[in-house]
Amino acid sequence: MNKQQRHFVIKEIIQSQAVSSQEDLASSLKKRGFDVTQATLSRDLAELGVARIHSDEGMRYSLNTKNEERKYSPLVVQEILSIEHNEVMVVIRTLPGRAPGVASYLDSLKHPSIIGTVAGDDTVFVTPASVKKILALEKFVKELLIGK
Contacts of 125 (CB under 8 A, 6+ apart): 89, 90, 91, 117, 118, 119
Torsion angle of alpha carbons 60, 68, 7, 28, nearest 10°? 20
**What is the reported pLDDT for 71?**
46
How confident is the model over 37-91, as pLDDT tens digits?
A: 999 998 888 888 888 887 777 888 887 655 444 444 556 667 889 999 999 999 9
pTM higher than 0.75 for the full model? no
Q: For the chain, give me the number of helices (H) and strands (E)?
A: 6, 6
List of domains in the chain: 3-63 (1.10.10.10), 66-146 (3.30.1360.40)
Q: Which of 96, 109, 106 is nearest to 65 (CA)?
A: 109
Task: Pick 27 or 4 by higher pLDDT.
Answer: 27
Angle at 32 between CA 28 and CA 34, to 5 degrees: 85
| Dist. CA 135–CA 123, nearest whole Å | 19
